[in-house]
Amino acid sequence: MKSVTKLDHTWNFYLHLHDNSDWTMDSYIKMLEFDNVEYAILLNDEVNYDLIKKSMIFIMKNQVKPMWEDEHNRNGGCFSFKISNKDVAKVWKEVYFGLVGNSLTNNHCDYEKINGITLSPKKKFCILKIWMKDCTLDDPSIFVKINDLKCDGCIFKRHCPEHR
């Protein structure tokens, strides 16, 4: 039997169709739950530019729903990066593998505050968000340098769930 290389966390891959105006949990399509390198690689192979143009992509830690209102997100926020369409595939790949491989931040302690990442298509660019479980870190320099992921223009925004 072939052994698999486990990741430190279990991750969930969700899609939300671009033209769906329903933002309840029912509108998110859970495509895959994975906890090993082999599935992480297979998932990366399936996320292509055509999929990115048609839907929002969410990779969230297990037990974390892709919604501001989730108990794991309600005290947090997210970093928002604008990425040109010509660069989105390579930036997504680097950020995604940094996320699941525990190497997205310069300091491992900072990494533990990440709940997930999302990619949202716009007309000429995409918005990449890195979701944080709290607001203690709001400087994008915590992340490792990734070509074409610019800290200039990155904003940190607190989640503002309606139940606050």
CATH of residue 70's domain is 3.30.760.10
Contact criterion met (CB below 8 Å) for 58 and 25: no
Across the chain, which has 164 residues, the per-10-residue mean pLDDT values are: 87 93 94 95 86 89 94 94 93 96 94 96 94 96 93 90 52
Query: Is there a domain that residue 45 lies in?
Result: yes
Query: Is there a domain that residue 163 lies in?
Result: no
Structural domain count of the chain? 1
Query: Is there a domain that residue 119 lies in?
Result: yes
Query: Is there a domain that residue 164 lies in?
Result: no
The boundaries of the domain holding residue 118 are 6-157
Q: What's the pLDDT at 151? A: 87
* Per-residue DSSP letter, 143: B
Query: Is there a domain that residue 162 lies in?
Result: no
Q: What's the pLDDT at 164? A: 45
How much of the chain is helix, strand and coil, in % rounded to 5? 25, 35, 40
Query: Is there a domain that residue 14 lies in?
Result: yes
Q: Under DSSP, is residue 16 helix (H, G, I), strand (E, B) or coil? A: strand
Q: Under DSSP, is residue 95 helix (H, G, I), strand (E, B) or coil? A: helix
Query: Is there a domain that residue 1 lies in?
Result: no
Query: Is there a domain that residue 145 lies in?
Result: yes
Q: What's the pLDDT at 163? A: 47
